[in-house]
């Protein structure tokens, strides 16, 4: 029996993040960047350090991006990290969209310009390629020798915005960034791909759903194209006060950044634009094969959608949302209802043989980028199957993958996140 792994965020790192986010007013989600920051997510763990150092990949500025209007919030050119494929993977491409929350008001978009989520100036110029981006077969058995790309996220609307705010010198150009990046990668050999996978984590996981069919349409029918959304299945859920915190936030993003221009017309014909930014209303419109990888008790959604400070002014959820072991029975039931809503929302989607699912009953967020949750000796499992094997089996049509975990607390392989 595998022991449950608990991942603890260093108190100092958390404290610095809180002061960092305090510039954004309290009614708005205050930990978005925190949850998207893998460096912080894995800052302290019970796992032994890896013997091998991860591949460090330098950033590339998208050539001619500014001339195309494909710029970050502050007007700087966006970038990506690219490691070329080799051998049997030389004509296979993996495009991974970075996550990092959203900005839904002028105020927090202006603040975001001063971070790596809104400006090239503040981005790390090299990044480690781990998990699904690793170049080692023992860490990434199916995609290690593919052409692997991580597209940096600096627009604040899941690569879908298309507008500007001149008064505050804000550029909402996520759609143009997406198109400019894909155009450049096509010129670097992706147009000759025999297979391609569009993936993304969190806000990038939402983007991989929104852009999935568009990505597929860029290749000839003979190219095998699929999409993977990791921690991107954000639910239009009721929070602990009976309100709709995430719907209100998404409404701000969609309106401010004119996202409706780039949402599926088939959805907009039936629903309002904010509803069409929620994956539960998008997945039925996606024709390209799509895999949903999500924790049933997604740590970001528990903190920021279900029990944010604005919905819990008395702090009765404070202990529970930072450590699930401290939840009382009624709080656990609320979280079980959230899981049930997720499972209900994917019922129709799961009926197609082309789709894939890995919904584990963990308090986690983004499991494809981190080596310990993607593929390691003690990775999370469903029916003895780790995430990497599930995704690989699905992509290569080796098996039909519809992996749905039993409800908490039955899974002892989780790498649960605990916050101090």
Tokens of 300: 């970001």
Tell me the C-alpha distance between 289 and 224, whole Å: 10
- Which residue is catalytic, options 119, 199, 202, 229? 202
Total domains, the chain:
1
The active-site residue, picked from 365, 372, 405, 415, is: 365
What region does 359 belong to: left with phi over 0, alpha with psi -120 to 50, or beta? beta
**Cα gap 361→320, rounded to integer Å:** 16
Residue 279 above 60 pLDDT? yes
Gap between the Cα atoms of 205 and 97, Å rounded: 7
Residue 201: beta bridge partners? 230
DSSP, residue by residue, 297-346: T-HHHIIIIIS-GGG-TT-TTHHHHH-GGG--HHHHHHHHHHHHHHHHHT
Digit-coded pLDDT (tens) for 226-254: 999 999 999 999 999 999 999 999 999 99
Two structure tokens written together for 413: 């392989």
For all residues of the chain together, what is the average pLDDT? 90
What 3-state class would DSSP assign to 206? helix
Smallest CA-to-CA distance from 84 within 159, 188, 1 is with 188
Among this protein's residues, is 365 annotated catalytic? Answer: yes
The predicted model scores a pTM of 0.92
The burial of 220, by beta-carbon neighbours within 10 Å (0-12 exposed, 13-18 middle, 19 or more buried), is given as exposed
Number of residues in the chain: 420
The residues facing 230 across adjacent strands are 201, 293
The pLDDT score that the predictor gives to residue 48 is: 37
d(CA 336, CA 223): 40
Residue 267 has pLDDT above 80, yes or no: yes
* Average pLDDT of span 102-117: 98
Has residue 258 got a pLDDT over 60? yes
Residue 382: domain span: 5-419
pLDDT at 300: 98
Question: Can you give the pLDDT at residue 28?
Answer: 35
Which region among 51-55, 198-202, 289-293, 366-370 has the lowest average model confidence (pLDDT)? Answer: 51-55
Quote the percentage of the chain above a pLDDT of 70.
Answer: 88
Q: What distance in Å separates the CA atoms of residue 180 and residue 174, rounded to the nearest whole number?
A: 10
* % of the chain at pLDDT higher than 90: 87
DSSP labels for 158-191? TT---EEEGGGTEEE-HHHHHHHHHHHHHHTTGG
CATH code at position 105: 3.40.50.1820
41 has pLDDT over 70: no
| Residue 307 to residues 149, 151, 293, 335, Cα–Cα distance (Å) | 34, 31, 22, 10
Question: Rounded CA gap, 416 and 190, in Å?
Answer: 37
8 Å CB contact between 226 and 395: yes
> What was the pLDDT predicted at 164?
98
Is residue 298 flagged as an active site residue? yes
| Among 37, 298, 372, 405, the one annotated catalytic | 298
**pLDDT score recorded for residue 26:** 30
Q: Name the one residue in this structure whose structure tokens are 């959805």.
A: 267
What is the pLDDT at residue 2? Answer: 41
| pLDDT confidence band for 255 (50 / 70 / 90) | very high
pLDDT tens track for 150-200: 999 999 999 999 999 999 999 999 999 999 999 999 999 999 999 999 999
- For 110-159, what is each residue's pLDDT tens digit? 999 999 999 999 999 999 999 999 999 999 999 999 999 999 999 999 99
């Amino acid at each position: 029996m595998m022991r449950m792994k608990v991942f603890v965020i260093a108190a100092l790192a958390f404290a610095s993040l809180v002061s960092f986010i305090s510039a954004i007013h309290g009614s708005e989600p205050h930990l978005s960047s925190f949850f998207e920051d893998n460096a912080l997510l894995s800052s302290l763990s019970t796992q032994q350090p890896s013997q091998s150092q991860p591949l460090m990949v330098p950033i590339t500025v998208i050539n001619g991006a500014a001339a195309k209007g494909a710029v970050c919030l502050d007007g700087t050119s966006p970038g990506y990290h690219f490691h070329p494929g080799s051998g049997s993977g030389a004509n296979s491409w993996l495009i991974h969209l970075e996550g990092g929350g959203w900005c839904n008001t002028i105020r927090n978009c202006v603040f975001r310009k001063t971070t790596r989520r809104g400006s090239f100036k503040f981005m790390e110029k090299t990044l480690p390629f781990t998990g699904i981006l690793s170049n080692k077969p023992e860490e990434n058995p199916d995609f290690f020798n593919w052409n692997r790309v991580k597209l940096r996220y600096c627009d604040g609307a899941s690569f879908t915005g298309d507008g500007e705010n001149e008064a505050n010198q804000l550029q909402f150009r996520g759609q143009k960034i997406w198109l400019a990046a894909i155009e450049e990668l096509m010129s670097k050999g992706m147009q000759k791909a025999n297979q391609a996978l569009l993936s993304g984590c969190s806000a990038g996981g939402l983007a991989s759903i929104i852009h999935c069919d568009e990505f597929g349409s860029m290749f000839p029918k003979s190219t095998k194209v699929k999409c993977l959304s990791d921690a991107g299945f954000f639910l239009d859920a009721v929070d602990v006060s009976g309100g709709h915190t995430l719907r209100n936030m998404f409404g701000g993003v969609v309106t401010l950044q004119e996202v409706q221009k780039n949402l599926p017309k088939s959805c907009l014909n039936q629903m309002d634009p904010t509803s069409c930014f929620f994956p539960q209303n998008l997945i039925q419109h996606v024709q390209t094969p799509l895999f949903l990888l999500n924790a049933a008790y997604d740590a970001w959604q528990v903190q920021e959608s279900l029990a944010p400070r604005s919905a819990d002014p008395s702090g009765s959820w404070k202990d529970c949302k930072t450590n699930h072991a401290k939840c009382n029975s009624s709080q656990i039931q609320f979280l079980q209802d959230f899981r049930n809503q997720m499972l209900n929302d994917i019922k129709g989607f799961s009926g197609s043989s082309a789709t894939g699912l890995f919904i584990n009953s963990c308090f986690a967020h983004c499991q494809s980028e981190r080596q310990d949750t993607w593929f390691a000796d003690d990775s999370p499992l469903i029916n003895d199957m780790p995430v990497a094997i599930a995704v690989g089996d699905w992509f290569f049509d080796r098996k039909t993958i519809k992996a749905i975990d039993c409800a908490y607390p039955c899974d002892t392989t989780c790498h649960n996140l605990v916050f101090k």
